[in-house]
Amino acid sequence: MLKIADILGESVVDGKGLRTVIFFQGCPRHCEGCHNEKLLPFEGGKSYTPEMLAKEIIAKMTPIHKVITFSGGDPLAQAAELLQVIKILRREKPNLNIWTYTGYLFEEVQHYPVLKEIDVLVDGPFILSQRDISLPFRGSANQRIIDLPKTFATGVIQELRL
Ligand code: SF4
């Protein structure tokens, strides 16, 4: 079962475009200054099977939505279940663009099979001393916006410059 805190129909701050955002419940880190502390415990949120969650995401998406973001909490703390959700979504919506936020570094999770199904990974913990509100789609300068298909194709981390 997945633990989900909320699903937002429309957001412009969680990645490029008007995105449907799924907030995962639970994060193993406790970054100082975390933007969403109530999502840190794994006990809260609502439980979903992968099928239930995929169905609810699709129901929230309007015809103009071809983009979604998994945020949290940390979606990669539930990586195996996330993979099942994405496989269903990709079957139903083949051209879906998927961003995922994580407190892990790419180097720590690059072997996770789910990464092969994600378009963009915003990686790394929030570091208060590197906070920069002028940066698009991330809270601190250490976080990278990584184009995963290009990164896996070239073997070198490919950051998006936005
Ligand atoms: S990784 Fe993100 S959600 Fe987790 S504690 Fe850090 S800022 Fe909060």
Q: Render the chain in DSSP notation, one character per residue.
A: -EEEEEEEEEESSSSSSSEEEEEES--S---TT-TTGGG--SS-SEEE-HHHHHHHHHHH--TT--EEEEESS-GGGGHHHHHHHHHHHHHH-TT-EEEEE-SS-HHHHTT-GGGGG-SEEEES---GGGB-TTSTT-SBTT-EEEEHHHHHHHSS--B---
The full set of domain ranges for the chain reads 2-133+148-154
Q: How many CA atoms lie within 13 A of 118 on its CB side?
A: 31
Q: Stretch 120-141: mean pLDDT, rounded?
A: 96
Q: Which residue has the CA at smallest separation from atom 7 of ligand 1?
A: 34
Percent of the chain with pLDDT over 90: 86
| Predicted pLDDT at 13 | 87
Q: What pLDDT digit, counting tens, does each position of 47-63 carry?
A: 999 999 999 999 988 77
Q: Which CATH number fits domain 2-133+148-154: 3.20.20.70, 3.30.300.10, 3.20.20.220, 1.10.10.60?
A: 3.20.20.70
Position 152 confidence tier, pLDDT thresholds 50, 70, 90: very high
Furthest-apart CA atoms within the chain: distance in Å: 42
| Predicted pLDDT at 96 | 94
What are the phi and psi torsion angles at 37 (to 5°)? -60, -30
| Predicted pLDDT at 78 | 98
How many residues are present in the chain? 162
Contacts of 2 (CB under 8 A, 6+ apart): 24, 47, 48, 49, 50, 53, 78, 81, 82, 85
Mean pLDDT rounded to a whole number for the chain: 95
- Amino acid identity, position 112: Y
CA of residue 151 to ligand 1 center, whole Å: 24
C-beta of 126 in contact with ligand 1 (< 6 A): yes
Q: What pLDDT digit, counting tens, does each position of 25-46 carry?
A: 999 999 999 989 999 999 999 9
Rounded CA gap, 145 and 58, in Å? 25
C-beta of 116 in contact with ligand 1 (< 6 A): no
Position 9 confidence tier, pLDDT thresholds 50, 70, 90: confident
CA of residue 82 to ligand 1 center, whole Å: 18
Q: Stretch 101-124: mean pLDDT, rounded?
A: 98
Predicted confidence (pLDDT) at residue 65 exceeds the cutoff of 90? no
